[in-house]
Structure 1
Amino acid sequence: MIDKTSSAIITPLSTLKFSETLTLWQKVHGRNDLPWQQEITPYRVLVSELMLQQTQVTTVIPYFERWLQHFPTVVALAEASEDEVMTQWQGLGYYSRARNLHKAAKFVVNELNGQLPDNAEQLREVPGVGPYTAGAISAFAFNKPAAIVDGNVKRLFSRYFGIEGDISSAKVNKTIWSYAERYTPTVNNRRYAQALLDLGATVCTPRSPDCQQCPIRTSCNAYATGRVDILPEKKAKKKIPTRRGYFVLDLTTDGVILTQRSGDGIWPRLWCLPQILEPLETASIHGSFKHIFSHYKLDATVIIESAEQFGQRIPLEQLDNYGLPTPIRKYLNTLRV
Structure 2
Amino acid sequence: MNGDATSMFSARLLTWFDSSGRHDLPWQHPRSPYRVWLSEIMLQQTQVQTVIPYFERFVRALPDVAALANAELDHVVALWAGLGYYARARNLHKAAQLCMQRHDGELPQNFEALSALPGIGRSTAGAILAQAHGLRYAILDGNVKRTLCRYHGVDGWPGSSAVEKTLWSLAEEHLPTQRLADYSQAIMDFGATLCTRGDPSCVLCPLQDSCVALREGRVETLPESKPGKPLPERRTMMLVLVDADRRVLLARRPATGVWSGMWSLPEVADHDEAREFVGRHARSDFEANKPLPLIEHTFSHYRLHIAPLLWSGATASDRISDGDLYRWQELATLAEVGLPAPVKKLLAEVQAG
Give the TM-score of the pair, scaled to structure 1.
0.92
Aligned partner of residue 248 in structure 1, secondary structure = strand
Q: Distance in 2 between matches of 1:319 and 1:273?
A: 12
Aligned partner of residue 215 in structure 1, secondary structure = coil
Question: Displacement, 1:58?
Answer: 0.6
Question: Displacement, 1:183?
Answer: 1.4
Answer whether contact 1:279 1:303 (CA < 8 A) is retained: no
Aligned partner of residue 109 in structure 2, secondary structure = coil
Aligned to 2:11: 20
Aligned to 1:311: 326
Aligned to 1:335: 350
Q: 1:119 to 1:185 in 2, by over 3 A?
A: farther
Answer whether contact 1:12 1:220 (CA < 8 A) is retained: no
2:308 to 280, 302, 307: 302
Answer whether contact 1:144 1:186 (CA < 8 A) is retained: no
- Which aligned segments of 4 or more residues in structure 1 are displaced greater than 4 angstroms? 304-310
Identity %: 44
Amino acid at match of 2:304: L
Aligned to 1:59: 50
Question: Displacement, 1:294?
Answer: 1.7
Q: Does 1:276 align with 2:294?
A: no
Structure 1, 100-109 or 112-121: larger mean CA deviation: 112-121
Aligned to 1:139: 130
1:39 to 30, 45, 53: 30
Aligned to 1:182: 173
Q: Distance in 2 between matches of 1:186 and 1:120?
A: 18
Answer whether contact 2:292 2:310 (CA < 8 A) is retained: no
Q: Distance in 2 between matches of 1:119 and 1:300?
A: 45
Q: Distance in 2 between matches of 1:313 and 1:230?
A: 51
Structure 1, 168-177 or 244-253: larger mean CA deviation: 244-253
1:288-309: CA deviations, max 9, x gaps?
3232222222221112467856
Answer whether contact 1:12 1:161 (CA < 8 A) is retained: no
Question: Displacement, 1:330?
Answer: 1.6
Answer whether contact 1:249 1:257 (CA < 8 A) is retained: yes
Equivalent residue runs for 1:1-337 within 5 Å: 14-254=5-245, 255-280=247-272, 284-288=289-293, 289-304=295-310, 308=317, 311-337=326-352
Aligned to 2:282: none
1:79-109: CA deviations, max 9, x gaps?
0001100110000000000001111111111
Aligned residues: 328
Amino acid at match of 1:113: D
Amino acid at match of 1:48: S
Aligned to 2:279: none
Q: Distance in 2 between matches of 1:167 and 1:13?
A: 26
Aligned Cα root-mean-square deviation (Å): 2.0
Q: Distance in 1 between matches of 2:8 and 2:86?
A: 40
Amino acid at match of 1:297: R
Answer whether contact 2:155 2:222 (CA < 8 A) is retained: yes
Structure 1, 316-325 or 88-97: larger mean CA deviation: 316-325
Answer whether contact 1:245 1:300 (CA < 8 A) is retained: yes
Aligned partner of residue 183 in structure 2, secondary structure = helix
Aligned partner of residue 153 in structure 1, secondary structure = helix
Q: 1:235 to 1:128 in 2, by over 3 A?
A: closer
Answer whether contact 1:158 1:231 (CA < 8 A) is retained: yes
Question: Displacement, 1:59?
Answer: 0.5
Question: Displacement, 1:13?
Answer: 5.4
1:211-247: CA deviations, max 9, x gaps?
1111111011111111111211223432333322101
Question: Displacement, 1:176?
Answer: 0.4
Gap regions ≥5 residues in structure 2:
276-285, 320-324
Amino acid at match of 1:143: G
Answer whether contact 1:285 1:301 (CA < 8 A) is retained: no
Q: Distance in 2 between matches of 1:231 and 1:315?
A: 50
Q: Distance in 1 between matches of 2:49 and 2:3?
A: 33
